[in-house]
Amino acid sequence: MKLFTYATSPYARKVRMALDYKGVSYEPFERCYSLDRKEDLRCVSLRAEVPTLVLDDGRTITDSTIISEYIEEVYPEPPLYPKDPYERARVRTIEDLCDRSFDAVGFGFWLSVLREQAPESQAMKQAAADELRRLLAVLERELGDRNFFCGEVSLADFAAICYVPGAKTMGVNLGEFARLQAWTGRMRRISVVAADQERIGKAMAELRSIADEFEGPDGRVHWRDSRLEWPIRHGFIDLVAREFHAGKMMFPPDAS
């Protein structure tokens, strides 16, 4: 199998950890953001997003949640979803919170760093940090006194580890969330998580600029669903309008 992936994409990281945890072998193809950097990915995925899994017979699966469910069905051991239906629902809920809300808050934060000169930049950073604290409090409650979110290690843990350690960069002290901090330590001791942390650490160290990471060569940023909701909900609609009128927004292709 082939996996279109990218070291800093939380969606791709989640899927990679799931495959590694189950001992499934695949060939990773690093494809960074922006449509013009990944013609081959465009040919196999309607939305041209990472992660995309290409099976040995050429069939493809896109979207980290759908890929993870497929992997679980084809490679059930070790399981990444608990047996209990309610706990399975909790895995999906926590994964969704990460994919939708944590992603949007992080996107808002990095956009404010990228647009440092914009009048809204400081307020956006503050709004992102404030909402991140509220999201971390939700995770802290979900974790409760368990070692992992849903008993044993599950996809919920792999989804969350892609976001929780990033709190520091956004000015939020993880020490405010003692249970999550201890969970982070436990997660880092899992070999596939340690390997992921090494990959992301290396990618961040090699980053030349935020623009390099965030924008394609045409200067456009990838927007979609909750990434669009977040700045509007927080009152930064003028910044979004300026981005749009300056031709700096990139959306997944039509009919995807």
Ligand X SMILES: N[C@@H](CCC(=O)N[C@@H](CS)C(=O)NCC(=O)O)C(=O)O
Chain residues that interact with ligand X, rule: CB under 6 A: 9, 11, 33-35, 49-51, 63-65, 99, 222
Q: Of 45 and 112, which has the nearer Cβ to ligand X? A: 45
Least distance to ligand X, CB of residue 167, Å: 18
Least distance to ligand X, CB of residue 43, Å: 14
Q: Could you tell me which residues come within 8 angstroms of residue 99 by beta carbon, excluding any fewer than 6 positions away?
A: 10, 11, 64, 65, 159
Cis, bond preceding 78 (omega within 30 deg of 0): yes
Q: Of 102 and 177, which has the nearer Cβ to ligand X? A: 102
Least distance to ligand X, CB of residue 222, Å: 3
Q: At which residue do the structure tokens 């709004």 appear?
A: 127
- Can you point out the beta strands (E) in the chain? 2-5, 27-30, 52-54, 60-62, 221-222, 249-250
Q: At which residue do the structure tokens 């791709």 appear?
A: 12
Q: Could you tell me which residues come within 8 angstroms of residue 254 by beta carbon, excluding any fewer than 6 positions away?
A: none
The Cα–Cα gap between 141 and 178 comes to 11
Computed over its alpha carbons, how large is the radius of gyration of the chain? 18
Amino acid at 68: S
Q: Could you tell me which residues come within 8 angstroms of residue 240 by beta carbon, excluding any fewer than 6 positions away?
A: 228, 231, 232
Helix (H/G/I), strand (E/B), else coil: 145: coil
Q: Of 67 and 177, which has the nearer Cβ to ligand X? A: 67
Least distance to ligand X, CB of residue 215, Å: 9
Q: Of 16 and 177, which has the nearer Cβ to ligand X? A: 16
Q: Of 34 and 112, which has the nearer Cβ to ligand X? A: 34
* 142 contacts 89 by C-beta, under 8 angstroms: no
Least distance to ligand X, CB of residue 81, Å: 16
Least distance to ligand X, CB of residue 51, Å: 6
Q: Of 7 and 190, which has the nearer Cβ to ligand X? A: 7
